[in-house]
Amino acid sequence: MKWERARRSRNVEDRRGRGMAAKGGGLSLGAIAIIVVIGLALGKNPMEMLGLVSQMAGSPAPTSSSAPAPVDDEASRFVAAILGETEDVWSALFAQMGRTYEPPRLVLFTDRVQSACGSASSAIGPFYCPGDRQIYIDLSFFRQMETQLGGGGDFAEAYVIAHEVGHHIQTLTGTTARVNDIRRRGGDLEGDGGLLVRQELQADCYSGVWAHHAQRRHDWLEPGDIEEALNTASAIGDDNLQRRSRGTVVPDSFTHGTSEQRVRWFRTGFENGRYELCDTFQAQRL
């Protein structure tokens, strides 16, 4: 992938290597890890559980312990280039809708981080927090994709970033607010075909839309790049992850969709480039 062709975003904040101390009953790293493990075992969204517990316990505040200056390394340049391309593509698509795109900020961190959604460890992987409209990524996740999940590669990493940007699109378009309203009214969100799965598959589709337009702009994909993204989408399907961790598949606890669904919805966006085809909430068949 010839990612150097893209403009680098200035909306990247590098917090790698910075400490995060708790105050007033904040969660320890051990407590965070326990909550994540319990959440995954119950099929719950760990970020929701972390946010709830943080509110009850008192949120920790980030503090700098000999905080190093941001590193201008290849990894950060890559992230800035991919984020910059999402900004350019979605700005153009929003302009077609008669709207102005408001880009998210992306935070690079190490081990643990504090967001408006609560404190989180890198164990939960990259995430988007609608409360502060920021994306959080510990770059060690990309190595984990390669060594443990059977995915990986530069275009696969770009797909992950674009997926989180897809959640930001949902915030801007009101999808996130509608799902949260259903949650507050006690609606059933989880399970195969549930709203959480539909929300995640729509973000996969949005990442495909971005990849379609980015390729047309830069002609930057190389042989094997698409396969990298599809392999990664398959590797992080609920059925595949549950089979690896539990030895069995429990569709009622799905939150992101099966491997086949994630691949298919990414392809839908990539092959057509039309964001309106990503409306999983209207789709009869996921």
The structural domains of the chain, with segments of one domain joined by +, span: 3-278
What token pair was written down for 165?
Answer: 């940007």
141 pLDDT higher than 50: yes
What token pair was written down for 31?
Answer: 């407590």
- Which letter does DSSP use for residue 12 in this model? E
232 pLDDT higher than 60: yes
More confident residue, 186 or 279: 279
Dihedral in degrees, nearest 10, Cα atoms 276, 281, 284, 286: 90
Burial level of 283, CB count in 10 A (0-12/13-18/19+)?
middle
pLDDT digits (tens, 9 = 90+) for 254-284: 778 888 899 999 999 999 999 999 998 877 6
Helix (H, G, I), strand (E, B) or coil at 273: coil
What token pair was written down for 128?
Answer: 């988007």
Q: Burial letters for 221-245: b for 16+ Cβ neighbours within 10 Å, e otherwise? A: beeebbebbbbbbbbbbbbbbbeee
The whole-angstrom separation of Cα 156 and Cα 24 is: 40
Identity of the amino acid at 91: S
More confident residue, 154 or 146: 154
What's residue 235's pLDDT? 79
What is the pTM for the complete model shown? 0.80
- Banded pLDDT at 23 (limits 50, 70, 90): very low
- Which letter does DSSP use for residue 120 in this model? E
